[in-house]
Structure 1
Amino acid sequence: MPINKIRNIAFVGQTGTGKTTLIEKLLHTCQATRTLGKVEKGDTITDFDAQSIQYQHSIEATPVTMRYDKHRLNIIDTPGQNELLGRALSVFPAVETSALIIDPQQPITQTSQRLFAFAQEQKKCQMIIINKLDVSASKLSQLLDEISDKFGDYCLPINLPTSDGKAVVDCFFEPNMGVETLINDVEAAHETLIDQVIEVDEELMELYLEQGSELTPQQLHDPFEEALRTGHIIPICFVSAETGAGVDLLLKTLSEIMPMPNEGNPPLLEKNGNKVKVNCETLEHTVAHVYKISVDPYMGKLAYVRVFQGEINAGSQLYVGESNKAFKVGHLYQLQGKDRTEIHQALAGDSCVLAKVDELEFDSILHDSHDEDDVELKTLNFPQPMYSLCLKPIKRGDEQKLSDVLNKIASEDPSLRIEHRARTNETIICGQGEFHLKVALEKMQSVYKLEVETSQPSVEYYETITKPAEAQYRHKKQSGGAGQFGEVHLKVAPLERGSGFKFINKVVGGAIPTALVPAVEKGIKQALEEGAISGNPIKDIEVTVFDGKYHSVDSKEIAFVIAGKKAFLTAVQEAGPIVLEPIVQMELAIPTQYVGDVSGDLSGNRGLIEGTEQIDANYTLLQAKSPINELQDYARRLRSITGGEGSFSMSLSHYEPAPPSVQNQVCAEA
């Protein structure tokens, strides 16, 4: 397929806007399917996996292909659930165009706004598809105003629904000025489009103003592409996936207006911090990117690859990233839902799937020349995890299996994070919320036959002291034969937060032999790890050993380890020991109308509101600090307050003394 006949588009948008249904209609119209699948029946091409069928909305990002008027349209269906946003974001490097699907009967949520903003960040050409026409004229007019308010006044209709809502009339290619439309006016919409497009081409603007003649679609093609690349125009298409109204015009728009691979903005590649330009040509070095990984029970690891430059053939020798060892491409496939077709070649501008290549991971760069060893894609800004669970296999001995399965699950979803906390010996899975982790855990059980029990991760408290103290301890053990003897005198003093541990040896006169001082420090370090009052490590403390006694026969290392440990614990008990709790810095993006409720909830749970900033007319950025102990279920609380429209990120800020009630509880649970 020639490059100029390929179009790569991601269908994105919040849940329930009809992305999957619309793709199903496009496939059927292009005769890529014999029957029209239904989401509620679980027989659509893109929602073929068990979880998508169960929940009746997309869980995975799924590519399909179809042919229309000698063009090949590669369309990726993406999840719209807010907690699965990362799975949608990961496909952006594979496309030139992001098509935001909107349902006029739904409010435009933060999910759609985040997807729109991410497409801008990734320099994608954008379009908006309004799916469903059986609404009132006032409702559609309000929607266009809302789109203009949220996304900019460069979002312009390229077609309009007729007054009966049963068809769509073209406003660009061959505008029919005599058709009565439900909203606006065809002639006015056409002139607005032309005026917007020619603003990027001064010569064409002068020609248009001087001659006053109608410009042809051919004359407008190049400036239209430039306007798309720069975000100077975002065409709005009306369509009904249910009735089929506007489907042919949408296919024509995708084929003739939206950019071909060498017309869109180039991929955001870098080498050692500098931009790298690739040419979407087959005669260049091969450069390709892995935009998705899935693990198939029968085919093993599958890597979904977009070819930016050059070509991939069966038998190609390719390098992965900076690796000096090439791998040989075995089989290439084109996937159509659950069906696969083996192909022999994927050219620049196209995509393919590679099977059974264990070296490949999400975001890998594939190349056939060492000139591209350090080339990488600009880091994608995935949403930060908001919810975590501690996992433990139910079956004893499945610890290694848990680790292996989690690695596979995380390889398929770049917005999941797996941690092992050595201090608490906990395996933690982190994601966007309860549903996100529920989907991951269900797959662990159904696909990998691994059952786990879940719990909230432990809060990592510390202990410290508030004042100096002094103590001594004599360890003496005599039970026949060689005994044990060691005596240690020491002082403790608090240090500034973050200082850690400082050990000072001020023993003089050989009261403790120099060779045995490390044993004293060893005993103190053991006590530091075990804690004095709550079982949590002690930090920000200075220990000075200044005196002691030893016996020429019975003083051994073990005696001074024990004496050092006991003396230290005694001193800590006298030094005003306290529990330190972790405080996190929070950044919340929330609808402005919920700022008061969110602030009140945080303040009522020991949070501190530090400031607010208006993001746009509808959203506010809120800065806050909170004890992490109060945020164990915060993803659920925020979703409840904002109707699922709020999001947050957090990072460790510092540790500070826990209030008496928290300290008493922590100590009681030790």
Structure 2
Amino acid sequence: MGDKASTHPGAAGRATAADRPSSLRNVVLVGHSGSGKTTLVEALAQATGAVKRPGRVEDGGTVSDHDEIEHRQQRSVQLSLVPVEWDGIRVNLLDTPGYADFVGELRAGLRAADAALFVVSAADGVDGSTRMVWEECAAVGMPRALVVTHLDAARADFDEMVAVCRRVFGGDDPDAVLPLYLPLHGEEGHDGHAPVAGLIGLLSQRIFDYSSGERTDREPDAEHLPLIAEARNRLIEGIIAESEDESLMDRYLGGEQVDVKTLVADLEKAVARGTFHPVLAAAPAADGGRQGLGTLELLELVTGGFPTPEEHPVPAVTSPDGAPRPPLTCDPDGPLAAEVVKTSSDPYVGRLSLVRVFSGTLRPDETVHVSGHGLEDRGHEDHDVDERVGALSAPFGKQQRGLSHAIAGDLACVAKLTRAETGDTLSAKGDPLLMEPWVMPDPLLPVAVVAHSKPDEDKLSQGLARLVAEDPTMRLEQNPDTRQVVLWCLGEAHRDVALERLRTRYGVQVDAVPYRVALRETFAEPSEGRGRHVKQSGGHGQFAVCAITVEPLPGGSGIEFVDKVVGGAVPRQFIPSVEKGVRAQAARGVTAGYPLVDVRVTLLDGKAHSVDSSDAAFQTAGALALRECAGAGRIHLLEPVFELRVVVADDYVGQVMSDLSGRRGRVMGTEQIAGGHTLVRAEAPEVEIGRYAVDLRSLSHGTGRFARTYVRHEPMPQQVADRVRSEQTNEG
């Protein structure tokens, strides 16, 4: 770590396949949008010599420059991998989007990593979504460290930010979240602001000066000693509390001076176990400099304190048919088990799959088995096929640097896997495996789309299929009731990026249209009607008359058809024709164009003609009779009602319950859950929760999430039904 006072300049050069898992580190960067994750990745790449200028690859492009949409959006929208090398260690940096709409990319990064680096801005603090991700990592024991950025912002305060992190992330043990360094401010400028010029190492008691753009170290000044002493004692006690040597605390409290090497070793072990979370500070290099503030300290923490892939448990595996299989380990010589964590399209090489190899070794041009992921409900079919692996590469901005192989613990891009999708398992052809999937967020914002033109209509189906193949957080639905094509997304930004990718990547222009809720119609009271279809046009005419009654049934009954004709008023061969006509009209609806349900239709009487009656004539008469019944009786519109399970921070429970009431929701109860959160159970009509995914996030400052389950259809209030019918008429 930085307190080893290493002066190693880093290792530049081509990214090559690691030769053993112990020389690999997989680190995911987590933080809210604008916290500085991508800037930090570029600073680390520059510090290791991978780039010669800030953010620039040697022959052009930035280390994260691989999606034009990101430039237009001014934010990261996808997971990116940047491999760097330091002290003989290959570090795979996984930069994730900070915006909540792209949490699927974040989850993929967490799956591919062995440790997490939480990036927090000294100017903006910690948001609710970052806290939720921290809790997710804590639940699975993932090692974590924190990096404070934007130290030179006008309102930045490192000490205050550390206090916030200790309170938010420390939980019951705030002394498990402590800084390893303190910022060293330079000379005050004309504006009264003193920029951060270096760091004070608390364990080594050295000054690491970055003011020249290259790190130098020296003894601290006398004025720094009191500041160092207080923070150092707290840090030492925090490290010793996590030490495996139970006698160390007693010896320390007894006055024994603990060797710095012992402290560093215990610190590294505690970080790797996920029980201690050091706080560091970082900033890009000053103009002309190569080493940004804190970049070397951070690299030393990652390589010395973060676990190797060998220390990270491999996800459980089964056979594709579900049969149990023995647990795997991170062994390059073991059975092949790799997972597609991201799928993207490159205009030059086609589909690229970012793969984490958990066991075995993946090589180009070999045939592997692709096992599906069980997300068929989202438009992703299950897979159980063999595919030939294309070239392997390590991405770096727009470049793809060739790899000869990828061993257990490594990440690589695989070309030309035409069937594999995000979440799929790659295994040996003769020994197929299926990895336990990671949790995907449920897309709950519906977006109905139509082709912009006839050429777009011809390409729409294929374009949508390719779009959802890349993004398992998106669901494609062909709604049979409303006959709409619906993309279910995580939020408005997710929607905008999806439609933009359709246009730019797949050449399909679509228009978003209002999403139609699948309403139903039913009779509010018994009614009767008569259908008369009589036409004479020369030759055989058309003649059919039938009399029916309609009465409502309990919800979920469907449509019953009862024959009570006596005396042969309707010949037996035409009774099924009447039923067919009634059911066809019911499917089309009787007032607003929504299917009719939950009624009993009884055929009582009718008339027929020996020559002019026919199957078609009685079908038409049956439909006319049902429409006449609707005109004579009261019709209810039925709307789908969903059960909502909303998890929200305790601070926002009142606002959430009030908002649900405004949506015609009924709160069924609340339940306290761990971590200062409450589960709110409610029922609400679907027409009122179309944008709830967006509104809840705003209402709860990013701390809320919800799931929904269809419960039933129930009558819509008359004033709402009248509005829907009016809108339907205007659309027509």
CA separation in 1, counterparts of 2:132 and 2:339? 23
Residues 12 and 80 of structure 1 are in contact (CA less than 8 Å); yes or no, is this contact kept in structure 2? yes
Aligned residue number for residue 199 of structure 2 = 168
Residues 27 and 115 of structure 2 are in contact (CA less than 8 Å); yes or no, is this contact kept in structure 1? yes
CA separation in 2, counterparts of 1:266 and 1:280? 7
Aligned positions of 1:208-247 closer than 5 A:
214=258, 225=269, 228-229=272-273, 231-241=274-284, 244-247=292-295
Aligned residue number for residue 66 of structure 1 = 84
SS in structure 1 opposite 2:300?
A: helix
Aligned positions of 1:517-528 closer than 5 A:
517-528=575-586
Quote how far apart the aligned CAs of 1:5 are. 0.9
Aligned positions of 1:107-256 closer than 5 A:
107-121=125-139, 123-134=141-152, 135-136=156-157, 138-148=159-169, 153=174, 155-157=176-178, 159-162=180-183, 164=185, 166-170=197-201, 179-181=225-227, 185-198=231-244, 204-206=245-247, 214=258, 225=269, 228-229=272-273, 231-241=274-284, 244-256=292-304
Residues 122 and 161 of structure 2 are in contact (CA less than 8 Å); yes or no, is this contact kept in structure 1? yes
The residue type equivalent to 1:233 in the other structure is F
CA separation in 1, counterparts of 2:241 and 2:173? 16
Quote how far apart the aligned CAs of 1:458 are. 1.3
Residues 447 and 515 of structure 2 are in contact (CA less than 8 Å); yes or no, is this contact kept in structure 1? yes
SS in structure 2 opposite 1:629?
A: helix
**Would you say 1:293 and 2:343 are equivalent positions?**
yes
Between stretches 500-509 and 331-340, larger displacement belongs to 500-509
The residue type equivalent to 1:296 in the other structure is D
Residues 531 and 625 of structure 2 are in contact (CA less than 8 Å); yes or no, is this contact kept in structure 1? yes
Quote how far apart the aligned CAs of 1:517 are. 2.2
Quote how far apart the aligned CAs of 1:537 are. 0.7
Aligned residue number for residue 502 of structure 1 = 560
Aligned positions of 1:506-517 closer than 5 A:
506-517=564-575
The verdict on how the C-alpha distance between 1:78 and 1:324 changes in structure 2, with shifts beyond 3 A counting, is closer
SS in structure 1 opposite 2:611?
A: coil
Quote how far apart the aligned CAs of 1:52 are. 2.2
CA separation in 2, counterparts of 1:482 and 1:172? 103
CA separation in 2, counterparts of 1:192 and 1:450? 57
Aligned positions of 1:365-444 closer than 5 A:
365-373=425-433, 375-378=434-437, 380-444=438-502
CA separation in 1, counterparts of 2:25 and 2:281? 20
Aligned residue number for residue 201 of structure 1 = none
- What is the TM-score when the length of structure 2 is the normalising length? 0.82
Residues 205 and 228 of structure 2 are in contact (CA less than 8 Å); yes or no, is this contact kept in structure 1? no
**Would you say 1:314 and 2:357 are equivalent positions?**
no
Aligned residue number for residue 354 of structure 1 = 414
The residue type equivalent to 2:344 in the other structure is S
The verdict on how the C-alpha distance between 1:501 and 1:117 changes in structure 2, with shifts beyond 3 A counting, is farther
Aligned positions of 1:12-31 closer than 5 A:
12-31=30-49
Aligned positions of 1:510-549 closer than 5 A:
510-549=568-607
Residues 365 and 389 of structure 2 are in contact (CA less than 8 Å); yes or no, is this contact kept in structure 1? yes
The verdict on how the C-alpha distance between 1:300 and 1:179 changes in structure 2, with shifts beyond 3 A counting, is farther
Aligned residues: 660
CA separation in 1, counterparts of 2:515 and 2:384? 40
5+ long unaligned stretches in structure 2: 1-17, 186-195, 208-219, 287-291, 373-382
SS in structure 2 opposite 1:447?
A: helix
Quote how far apart the aligned CAs of 1:502 are. 2.0
The residue type equivalent to 2:232 in the other structure is V
The verdict on how the C-alpha distance between 1:182 and 1:88 changes in structure 2, with shifts beyond 3 A counting, is farther
CA separation in 2, counterparts of 1:142 and 1:207? 27
The residue type equivalent to 1:307 in the other structure is V
Residues 156 and 193 of structure 1 are in contact (CA less than 8 Å); yes or no, is this contact kept in structure 2? no
Aligned residue number for residue 314 of structure 2 = 266
Residues 89 and 118 of structure 1 are in contact (CA less than 8 Å); yes or no, is this contact kept in structure 2? no
CA separation in 2, counterparts of 1:232 and 1:276? 29
- What is the TM-score when the length of structure 1 is the normalising length? 0.89
Percent of residue pairs identical: 29
SS in structure 1 opposite 2:725?
A: helix
Deviations 1:610-650 (A, max 9, x none): 33445567654433333222334445544554555544443
Between stretches 507-516 and 450-459, larger displacement belongs to 507-516
Quote how far apart the aligned CAs of 1:149 are. 5.5
Aligned residue number for residue 94 of structure 1 = 112
Quote how far apart the aligned CAs of 1:123 are. 4.9
The verdict on how the C-alpha distance between 1:215 and 1:402 changes in structure 2, with shifts beyond 3 A counting, is farther
5+ long unaligned stretches in structure 1: 199-203
The verdict on how the C-alpha distance between 1:17 and 1:274 changes in structure 2, with shifts beyond 3 A counting, is farther
SS in structure 2 opposite 1:185?
A: helix
Quote how far apart the aligned CAs of 1:453 are. 1.9
Aligned residue number for residue 626 of structure 1 = 684
The verdict on how the C-alpha distance between 1:499 and 1:455 changes in structure 2, with shifts beyond 3 A counting, is same
Aligned residue number for residue 257 of structure 1 = 305
The verdict on how the C-alpha distance between 1:503 and 1:355 changes in structure 2, with shifts beyond 3 A counting, is same
Quote how far apart the aligned CAs of 1:582 are. 2.1
CA separation in 2, counterparts of 1:576 and 1:510? 31
Aligned residue number for residue 28 of structure 2 = 10
The residue type equivalent to 2:134 in the other structure is F
The verdict on how the C-alpha distance between 1:579 and 1:325 changes in structure 2, with shifts beyond 3 A counting, is closer
Residues 267 and 305 of structure 2 are in contact (CA less than 8 Å); yes or no, is this contact kept in structure 1? no
Residues 433 and 635 of structure 1 are in contact (CA less than 8 Å); yes or no, is this contact kept in structure 2? yes
Aligned residue number for residue 353 of structure 2 = 303
The residue type equivalent to 2:421 in the other structure is E
Aligned residue number for residue 562 of structure 1 = 620
User: How well do the aligned residues superpose, as a CA RMSD in angstroms?
Assistant: 3.2
Quote how far apart the aligned CAs of 1:515 are. 2.9
Quote how far apart the aligned CAs of 1:183 are. 9.8
SS in structure 2 opposite 1:91?
A: helix
CA separation in 2, counterparts of 1:150 and 1:47? 37
CA separation in 2, counterparts of 1:110 and 1:643? 7
Quote how far apart the aligned CAs of 1:10 are. 0.7
CA separation in 1, counterparts of 2:675 and 2:117? 23
Aligned positions of 1:536-615 closer than 5 A:
536-615=594-673
Residues 170 and 176 of structure 2 are in contact (CA less than 8 Å); yes or no, is this contact kept in structure 1? no
CA separation in 1, counterparts of 2:594 and 2:406? 56
Quote how far apart the aligned CAs of 1:68 are. 0.6
Quote how far apart the aligned CAs of 1:413 are. 2.3
The verdict on how the C-alpha distance between 1:111 and 1:658 changes in structure 2, with shifts beyond 3 A counting, is same
Quote how far apart the aligned CAs of 1:346 are. 0.8
Residues 475 and 484 of structure 1 are in contact (CA less than 8 Å); yes or no, is this contact kept in structure 2? yes
CA separation in 1, counterparts of 2:249 and 2:169? 26
The verdict on how the C-alpha distance between 1:216 and 1:424 changes in structure 2, with shifts beyond 3 A counting, is same
CA separation in 1, counterparts of 2:354 and 2:234? 43
Q: 2:96 aligns with which of 54, 69, 78?
A: 78
